[in-house]
Structure 1
Amino acid sequence: MIPFFPPDVFAADREELLEIVHTVGTDPDQRFILGRRTAAFEDELRLRLGAAEVVACSSGTSALSLVLTAMGVGPGDEVVVPALGCAPLAASVCGLGAVPVFADIDPWRLVADPVSAEAAVTDRTRALMPAHLFSVMADMPRFADIARRRGLRLVEDSAVAQGGVLGGRPAGLWGEAGVFSFVQVKTFGTAGEGGAVVTGDPELGRAVRMLRNHGQNGAQRFVHHRVGYNSRFDEILAAFQLHRLPGLPDRLERRARIADYYTGRFAELGEHGVVAPPPGREGRCFYVYTLLAERRDGLRAHLARAGVGSHVYYPSPLPHQPAFTSCAPPGARWPNAESAARRILSIPLYPHLSDAQVEHIADSVCAFARSSRRATPAPGRRTT
């Protein structure tokens, strides 16, 4: 079986992780959160990205809440978010008493459509929050232009996109602030939970840094300047991420090569009802490799029989989720998001897949597609 979520992500780092646990646990400082290791990790990411501030926090979800809070988003405000994506896109907005307004997605790239997003702007809109999805970065130049013209804040949900670059600018630095997630299956996942806020705005970075630790500024404990959060970063994970950071470029390159191979193999499958993501590496992050399959459930069953795990991100658009239906206008539709939710299927994409495993996965997808009847592309959908 080739699992979709590999159980051995950190097998090569086992001894180092055990040593880190022992070292941090027996350190005379007994500092388990927000210590010198966290500061070193933040500095290293900041230098590599060219950011003004990197603030490590408890999760990518928490990072979104920290940024929106620092920007003053609250009751009565609206934030435009994609109609397809992870729940925190909407939940982080709702948690502040604001309203998520859902924009439809591009039918092939599957990220928020800038035209739909701008059409959703009202006089109550406070911010745009596009998200990079699967392995494709959102059209950040167009979102930056909309934000500038309409006087809006721009938050970049780059939780899955660490390592992506668009127009020479790293993911996370196109908006006023971006976020990363370090949950284990992400491109820079760790052995636990964690995230970071990245920004080119020092003042915004300082506000986020204060908010993550109960509104304290770090210089003096038990003086709370704002109502903040408990969103602190773990010293063990900071040390572990510093250990793994030098190998990140090679792991990203391996992901990209696997994706290139898949895309080449799947280029002619559109007429058989299986559509590969857009080709190329510009604005790509290769977190997961997601197909659009007209017979999604059939393909998933076929892959399972071939010993290949797969995963459905996301089976329902956000405005159809019970938690967020109250935010959706009655009768509103998001046709591209709804169509994608019926067809998306992600296949394994992680650095330690062997060439033979990658070839077997591709062979299995191709065998299913070519055994299917010719498919008529859905309206507005490109094939290859």
Structure 2
Amino acid sequence: MTIPFFPPDLFDDDEELLLDVVAEVATAPEQRFILGSRTAELEAAIRASVGAADAVACGSGTSALTLLLTAMDVGPGDEVIVPAYGCAPLAATPVLRGATPVFADIDPWTMVVDPVEVEKLVTERTKVIMPAHMFSVMADMPALRRIATDAGVRLLEDSAVGQGAVLAGRAAGTWGDAGVYSFVQVKAFGMPGEGGLVVTNDPALGRTVRMLRNHGQDGRTRFLHHRIGYNSRFDEIMAAFQLHRLATFARRLDRRADIGEYYTARFADLPGVVAPPPGRDGRCFYVYSLLADRRDALRDHLTAHGIGCHVYYPAPLPHQPAFARHAAPGRDWPWAALACRRQLAIPVHPRLTDAQVEHIADEVCRFALSRGVPMPTEELT
């Protein structure tokens, strides 16, 4: 049995749909391939689904962060508080705006940024707090919302991996002044291409982002540029494709959550292996990540048994060569460093069969209990 971490057949069920929308867009009389009616429909559908005032589709999740930091007038002399553990755009986007990323350590279990650490780092130079949801867990947005409000700074919610998640009845992406989603292929609402989206309850911020994504034009008068902007426009074929797939998005998320809950039940109290927190509130199940004392040995064991797995982020962001010069001297981020040594993701995508899920769980348990403790068994229901 060979189980890939990212399935190569992710869009096999939608092949005919994709061909149909290519033909539909290509033969439409308006010949509009970017920022047309389908993009507007997708924006409206996602806006309604999360209860936001505005939704703006753009070129990628990274572009969405860049557009928002620009719209928030982040620049030289400003500080943006970001997690010390996570994807490079968290640090790169402030740096590219001339600002300084200030790295906050993470919670050792959930691997999301620790609000206590964030609050310690707020100064008069702080312009934005930019938490990120991580793997299958949303950041503590109520606490971060309070910190940002008390400090009078913007809260930018990186929900690139969190689309569809809900915390305390509120959708991921809507806790901050604005949030971002990513549609890159491997994300929960991924597509066969690049794309992203900004959601916000600040109409003025939404209007600015809408201009910035299209070279600073407002969409009414072509070649009239109100601001220096970017080329971060959304593709009409992908908009039509994602519009159709939005109807089944909840079903795919439920399948991911079912698999994640099964894993968490199977891995409870395993020696040397820590599962994510249980439950569905504030969970997104984009990636299911374990923390393992013998991470490399577990990875080798799973690989030998035909199970694809993935190590994310080999070093904390402030230890990466690109960002080290921006890190405060003399500081360390012990929980981020520990996560880099212990994190291992196992497959959780919705194309997994029950038998595959059980095989994956069996082998994780077999490894953890390899010193003679009986292996627990449980049917996936």
1:159 corresponding residue in structure 2:
160
Asked if residue 248 in structure 1 is aligned to residue 253 in structure 2, the reply is no
Structure 1: state its 5+ residue gaps. Answer: 375-384
The 3-state SS of whatever aligns with 1:255 is helix
**CA 1:114 to 1:373, structure 2 compared with 1: closer, same or farther past 3 Å?**
farther
2:13 corresponding residue in structure 1:
12
1:104 corresponding residue in structure 2:
105
1:330 corresponding residue in structure 2:
329
1:382 corresponding residue in structure 2:
none
CA contact (8 A) 2:7 2:351 kept: no
Q: How many aligned positions are there?
A: 372
Aligned-pair CA distance for 1:244: 0.3
The 3-state SS of whatever aligns with 2:248 is helix
Distance 1:243 1:88 in 2: 29
Q: Deviations over 1:132-189 (max 9, x none)?
A: 0001000000001001111111000001000110111000000000000000111100
The 3-state SS of whatever aligns with 1:91 is helix
1:318 corresponding residue in structure 2:
317
Aligned-pair CA distance for 1:372: 5.1
2:273 corresponding residue in structure 1:
274
2:354 corresponding residue in structure 1:
355
Q: Deviations over 1:39-62 (max 9, x none)?
A: 011011111111100000000000
Asked if residue 33 in structure 1 is aligned to residue 34 in structure 2, the reply is yes
2:376 corresponding residue in structure 1:
none
Amino acid at match of 2:281: E
2:260 corresponding residue in structure 1:
259
Q: Which consecutive aligned stretches of 4+ in structure 1 deviate over 3 angstroms post-superposition?
A: none
Distance 2:355 2:144 in 1: 40
Asked if residue 140 in structure 1 is aligned to residue 141 in structure 2, the reply is yes
**CA 1:373 to 1:297, structure 2 compared with 1: closer, same or farther past 3 Å?**
farther
Distance 1:373 1:188 in 2: 41
Aligned-pair CA distance for 1:120: 1.1
Distance 1:77 1:48 in 2: 34
Distance 1:178 1:330 in 2: 30
Distance 2:23 2:323 in 1: 44
Amino acid at match of 1:49: V
The 3-state SS of whatever aligns with 1:101 is strand
Distance 1:314 1:25 in 2: 40
2:66 corresponding residue in structure 1:
65
Amino acid at match of 1:366: C
Aligned-pair CA distance for 1:373: 9.3
Q: Deviations over 1:305-356 (max 9, x none)?
A: 1100000111111001000000112221000000011000000011110000
Amino acid at match of 2:311: V
RMSD, aligned α-carbons: 1.0
Structure 2: state its 5+ residue gaps. Answer: 374-381
Q: Deviations over 1:66-95 (max 9, x none)?
A: 011101111110000000000000001001
Residues 166-205 of structure 1 aligned to structure 2 (within 5 Å): 166-205=167-206
CA contact (8 A) 2:60 2:197 kept: yes
**CA 1:131 to 1:372, structure 2 compared with 1: closer, same or farther past 3 Å?**
farther
The 3-state SS of whatever aligns with 1:280 is coil
1:380 corresponding residue in structure 2:
none
Distance 2:71 2:80 in 1: 14
Amino acid at match of 2:346: I
1:124 corresponding residue in structure 2:
125
Distance 1:240 1:316 in 2: 36
Distance 1:338 1:117 in 2: 17
1:293 corresponding residue in structure 2:
292
Amino acid at match of 1:336: W
Residues 71-110 of structure 1 aligned to structure 2 (within 5 Å): 71-110=72-111
Amino acid at match of 1:313: Y
Aligned-pair CA distance for 1:25: 1.3
Asked if residue 221 in structure 1 is aligned to residue 185 in structure 2, the reply is no
The 3-state SS of whatever aligns with 1:371 is coil
The 3-state SS of whatever aligns with 1:311 is coil
Aligned-pair CA distance for 1:19: 1.1
The 3-state SS of whatever aligns with 2:175 is coil
Distance 2:78 2:176 in 1: 19
Distance 1:44 1:304 in 2: 40
1:149 corresponding residue in structure 2:
150
Q: Deviations over 1:271-304 (max 9, x none)?
A: x211001111110111000000011110000000
Aligned-pair CA distance for 1:26: 1.6
Distance 2:84 2:123 in 1: 17
Distance 2:150 2:266 in 1: 42
Aligned-pair CA distance for 1:123: 1.4
1:283 corresponding residue in structure 2:
282
Amino acid at match of 1:207: T
**CA 1:210 to 1:366, structure 2 compared with 1: closer, same or farther past 3 Å?**
same
Distance 1:154 1:329 in 2: 22
Amino acid at match of 1:303: L
CA contact (8 A) 2:162 2:181 kept: yes
